[in-house]
Structure 1
């Protein structure tokens, strides 16, 4: 993976003066235009058609690009991460990467950078297909230097960025991760329930197929309707209500499995749980049970909740092989989901005896400073954002604000653009991060 042995020093058709002029223009670029201007500067040094950027500094999206968007498919991130692991920090390298819908292998020059205060970034310069040979060492080195300058410029722009913008990115990323985890667990619950019916020894073949069909149909209706656990932005709920809904799901899950479910009634059933805690408790126990059910030879799972002062303690215990570890993907996902709530997770597994997972959730997490809404949002847009985040549709927002529905649509489009988000749900997540909507409180 050599960048080339020819030590030519000419910068190519661009020439030194044109190259430096392009660098000056690049260093004046606002963040959204940086890759485009870098591509222009690089064109005279390393002919290419697309730039792909893997960054560790953007919470909302790790992959940026300029050029051919079809090369940014599902496999692009994995390929860029592979290149990032293989390339030396002070030396670009030539390789071929599987990019695009069909995973075609494209020639790329991989150029790393890690300026001070940055998590690091990799620039993949996708070369023109007719260039079978890698760029010369001199040209590759110029590309490396240009990327070092550019990455410092990007880091500087990020540091100057409004704190609100960074807060939006984190809130949106958290919302996307939460929804992805919800969907993954919901699908796993449905699949496990259906398989349990098909494998049940208590049902005839015909009854098993009929039961599995009914369960699958019900699960599909729930998934399409978006029925999930407690809403992280909803009102506080009692321990009894949250545990009861969770128990209903677990009972359905276990109905045709050869695993006995034991449910310990929670103490302090009337104790109110803040919405984020209720959602985390529901998701954690559901995820833990699904993970335990993957083990062979399981006969029993016991779930218990207790409230001790300012902490909700969740316990999930099985009598399986006792080989679960914190490196298991299911357990790692639980840890990641609990990180924002300052929760503690311990896993005690004894070979031949089973595993016990205990999670301690603080009922009142430490307050964190909230970002402010972007100054570009005007007062009317803030009003629309509050109502949108409270779950109101456009027609109701129009009624409450005494404006037309068309005007509401115009404001919503502006809000999504100014927050740089893709959906109303992500906008609502941003609004919660600003404190514009109190949990469970209606708009007044």
Structure 2
């Protein structure tokens, strides 16, 4: 095994850092292959709420490895100290080199290299140093994401935590109920079995219904979304002399894309916070209305009316609206108040892409995209391609990253443009 050359190592680091976040492992694998032959790489990072786990290499490993397995390996690795040993990955015991890094203010990142050879000390040092750079790069990208990506990551993390909490509580309640039934001294065996069976059936029904939680990551009813906004705004004026008037949408059951609902809440809340910084106002009115293919958000106050389009808060609001394809306008009249309005599209814009846009996808990713474009859910795609749902999620994440889009809908639109779903 040849020892690392400093110039080559630096060139490798540069190639890795130039890659998009979702494509870091491919150049990293190429950089390490000369010094550390391996079958696959996998990473787990706390700085990406949408896709914390990524893998690259042999499909037999990358399609089966789980974030739980990586987390278990991470529990044995100390920061800055490479670890080598047998690790349970992709359902089997595999020799692996693992390194962990946590830059200041970051949640940390783990890299696992599945290799059959025990690396020399110099190679371990190289892998650790390279991963330290990558972890720092990932934390920087997480802090400096575009508004749309940043809000999307935060929403995904929040909704994932909520879903896990709900499922955990339901699971605990079911187990407690079953134990109480089986331990009961007032029920005979037959009655206990019937009761336990009923509880188990009810729990299975609830578990299947929980699959619908996935839709909350992509869709939200306008009334529900506005009520969530009301909950966020209430503390801002609870002990203030400013009166807050909230006018929800007249069609509360109208379905909004998740990113639009989140952007509308962020716009309204940030605007209210900005207005409250000015003295002399007594009322703020927030209105949402679905009109045609847009969600219209309007925030009006009766303050001094001195806010300008060049003000930093307004520029940030404009960037937030633009990040989801919307537009924002400001109307401020000195002595009469300020009105901020935003129009957010309910359908994603069609992105102009080169004719070979899908050329970056691998054959399996094209198969997944084609079925995604036909409207199939992850479970249906998994059944159709005879792969696991976990693998489908992995491919979908890679597809979104490689195509430079944020949602499945945008990816499907590109597939239709290029005739993939025909």
* TM-score, structure 2 as length reference: 0.49
What TM-score, normalized by structure 1, do the two folds share?
0.47
Higher relative contact order (CA 8 A, sep 6+): 1
